[in-house]
Structure formats: C-alpha cells, structure tokens
Amino acid sequence: MRYPKLRELKEAIRALVKGPYTSKFPYKPHTPFERFRGRPEYHQDDCMGCTACVQVCPTGALEFKDSVRENGASRTLVVHWDVCIFCGNCQANCPTSKGIVLSQKFDLATTEKRQDLVQSIDKRLLLCDCCNEIIAPYDQLMWVARRLGALCFSNASLMLFYLRHLELALLRMPPENEKGDLRRPDRIRLLCPRCRREAVLKS
C-alpha cells in the first residue's frame, strides 16, 4: 500500500478546515487577484494614438485605421477581445503606461455576434499644411511637447504645433504661392517629413 506524501496530507487537511480553494463562480461573483490579466481596455484620455500597442500585439487583436475627411482626420484604434490572449504586451509597451490597461474583467462568454466583443476609440490627427498627409496624432505631439519642455522649440513643426495649441499662432497658414511650390518661408509651417525635407533643400 502506497502512503500519501506529508505535503499532500497537509493540503487535504487544510482544505477540510478552511474550505475549497476554488470560487463559486458563476453562481457567485469572483474577484480576481490584483495582478490578474483580464481583457485589455483603451482609456480615451490617456491613450495618445501612437499605435505602439498594435505593433507588438502577437495575435493581431489590435488594429487601427486612419480616415481623412474634409473637416479633419481621425485614427480609430480597435481591440478584439475574442482574439486577444491577454499577454500584456500592449500595456507593457504603452509609452504612457495608461493608454491601454489589462482590466480584471474575464467573463467574455457570449452567444451573440463576435463583432460585439470589440472596443474602439478615436483620436484626432494632424495633417501637413502642404500635402495634407498625416503627421501624427494630436495627443502624441502634445505628449512629446510636454515631455521635452522648452526643447520642443528646436523642432519647427513641434514648435508651431505647440504655439497653435496655446493660440499664439494661426491654425493654418495661407499658401505663399498659387503653384504650391515650397519656398523658404514654408519652413515655418506644420509640415510632414517629406515636405520639410523638400522645403529645406529648395531654400
């Protein structure tokens, strides 16, 4: 006859005295541990739309889509909870550490459509004054400007963006010429990297 180990006997006696280790979910609510990794959720105010989380997602549960319209441009970030494996890479690589956070919500079972297991947020984008190409999200440039402080004035586009935010510069400068060719005065405009390179070379 094989006798049980002392450790196993100790655990069995402890379970008889203190009760089972398992919770009574789903009959009673279950409170996970503090560091439990549940479904990731975007926070509208803390996310800056940099898409760092999308780049490191191993399963493709995160995606983004940019849309440019006449009244402005926006970036939509989407998380698909039915594809997510709750690895935590998105939260670990978020520059703000609060833009996307793994919550303690784990009960994702549903009999409805899989399209309902998503969350999306929209972030405003800044466009180039010359070619209307996307430069970066508004919140991302604001985050960089605040981190750099006075050093943000060493970059022309970042300086002009920050002055526009403080309402100390025109929201959109009028074109210098009708042909649209970049000239020396265009260097002090909010330009994408391609247009800025062209403006510097032509000046």
Residue where one domain finishes, among candidates 72, 103, 127: 127
Contact in structure between 128 and 192 (CB atoms under 8 Å) = yes
Assigned token pair, 117: 């297991």
Number of domains into which the chain is organized: 2
Q: What is the CATH number of the domain that holds 79?
A: 3.30.70.3270
Task: Let me know whether 60 and 103 are in one domain.
Answer: yes
Residue range(s) defining the domain that contains residue 141? 128-203
Going by C-alpha positions, the residue among 36, 16, 35 that lies closest to residue 25 is 36
Residues 45 and 119 in one domain: yes
Average pLDDT, the chain: 85
The pTM for the full model equals 0.78
Q: Which residues make Cβ contacts (< 8 Å) with residue 109, sequence separation at least 6? A: none
**Helix 156-165 vs helix 138-148: angle between axes, to the nearest 10 degrees?**
100
Burial (Cβ within 10 Å: 0-12, 13-18, ≥19) of residue 141 = buried
**pLDDT for the residue numbered 4:** 61
Looking at the structure, tell me whether residues 113 and 133 fall in a common domain.
no
Q: 75 and 140 in one domain?
A: no
Token duo for residue 34: 């503090």
The reply to whether 112 and 163 lie within a common domain is no
**6 domain residue, yes or no:** no
d(CA 117, CA 73): 26
Residue 7 lies in a domain: no
Which of 4-8, 37-41, 190-194 is modeled with the greatest confidence?
37-41
Element (H or E) spanning 38, and its range? none
106 shares its domain with 138: no
Please give the pLDDT value at position 177: 46
| Residue 173 near residue 167 (C-beta atoms within 8 A) | no
